[in-house]
Amino acid sequence: MDKNKLNYKEAIIEIEDIVAKLENNQLDVDDLSKKVKRVSELIAFCKSKLHSTEEEVEKMLKSIDTP
């Protein structure tokens, strides 16, 4: 879970980093397609975090007994 929490944030930070580099002309054209692919993956990941539930988490929550 920590990992997942971190992942969304990390993903956002990585996207921000790439976009910033892109905007500051620090991105190598040779790397561009790789970075574009990476960013679209990260964006898809982040969007899924917004819009889908995770079975794993649901299960974990169900397993918590509450009086």
Q: Kindly state whether residue 29 participates in binding another protein, applying the rule CB under 8 A.
A: yes
Instruction: Read off the amino acid at residue 58.
Output: E
By CB under 8 A, what part of segment 32-61 binds another protein? 32, 36, 39, 43, 46-47, 49-54, 57-58, 60-61
Q: Kindly state whether residue 30 participates in binding another protein, applying the rule CB under 8 A.
A: no
Tokens of 16: 């921000």
8 Å CB contact between 49 and 3: no
* The residue to which tokens 């990992």 are assigned: 3
Q: Helices (H), strands (E): how many in the chain?
A: 3, 0
Interface contacts to another protein, rule CB under 8 A: 1-2, 5, 8-9, 12, 15-16, 18-19, 22-23, 25, 27, 29, 32, 36, 39, 43, 46-47, 49-54, 57-58, 60-61, 64, 66-67
